[in-house]
Amino acid sequence: MPDIFELLKCPTCGGPLERDGGSLICRGGAKTHTFDIARQGYVNMLPPGRGRNAKSGDDAEMVRSRSAFLSLGYYDRISDTVADLILEYHPTEETGGIIKIADSGCGEGYHTCRFVKRISETGMTPVCCAAFDASKNAAAHAAKSAAEQALAPKNGIGAPFEGSSLISFMTGNIFYLPLKDKSVGAVVSMFAPIAGDENFRILTHGGITVVAASGEDHLIEMREMIYPNVIKKPSVPKAGDGFYQADCKKLKYKIKLESNSSIMNLFGMTPFYYKTPPNAVKILEKTDLLELTVDTDLYVFIKK
């Protein structure tokens, strides 16, 4: 059975954690450290003095937009491919016969739940996934969704759980994760910053970092609508020292959004949301049909 406490350590002192009532408790140091479990089932594991990532977490409206858009299935091919790459490259023999994953920047958890379910449906091996995001709004939504899909205990992180695939959602700083050294076989980074040194620390020998990055034509049609000059530049990720690239798969396909609500939900979950001038936003607000290019590159980097 997957056990999240095999992966976790106290973000304050590095000691072992256990569940005690409605909290995770560390009694490993001179002082007891307590982390209360929210009613949605997640726990705040942001380390003292390091409460923010390189990027701030999604606000409530952005989480709503992401959830509404992703539930339509337009990006399912991306998380499906992530699952397939984990199944192909994860060094399961190094992790006790269990696929152990850290989702670094998991957002509202849609992709996390989807790739864990796809892996578990193969019946090949149990899955234990520790998923982190800077946003409390995102972690709350993700934990509730995972429990509804029987991928997490209904009583919150660390409660007794009978399933073969477990996801535990936490708020956390991806550059200072509360995970033990060499505790996971895979790190997933989907459209998020890559914490190369931290990934190297938590990955076991032969462990993998799976990265989803935007290609140069990703949402090009929307970008051309809202920006006067669009510069095509692919996002080429760097996994950091100690990794080599083992694979890269390109996903490029068309989607058709046939309602203004789906168009605005997609817009609301992109970085464009924060830097688009009001006159360009008005153009989108009057658009009811939009064909878009999804262009995503999926990389696998293996720890040497």
Radius of gyration of the CA atoms of the chain, in A: 19
- Run of H or E residues at 208: strand 203-214
Residue spans of the chain under pLDDT 70: 48-57
Residue 129 exposure: Cα atoms within 13 Å on the Cβ side: 35
Which residue is listed with tokens 């970085």?
271
Residue 49: per-residue pLDDT? 64
Q: What is the dihedral of CA 74, 175, 129, 200, to 10 degrees?
A: 110
DSSP label of 234: -
Residue 55: per-residue pLDDT? 44
pLDDT tens profile 188-218: 999 999 999 999 999 999 999 999 999 999 9
Residue 54: per-residue pLDDT? 39
Q: How distant is the alpha carbon of residue 203 from its chain centre?
A: 16
Residue 50: per-residue pLDDT? 55
pLDDT tens profile 142-190: 999 999 999 999 999 999 999 999 999 999 999 999 999 999 999 999 9
Q: How far apart are CA 220 and CA 254, in angstroms?
A: 11
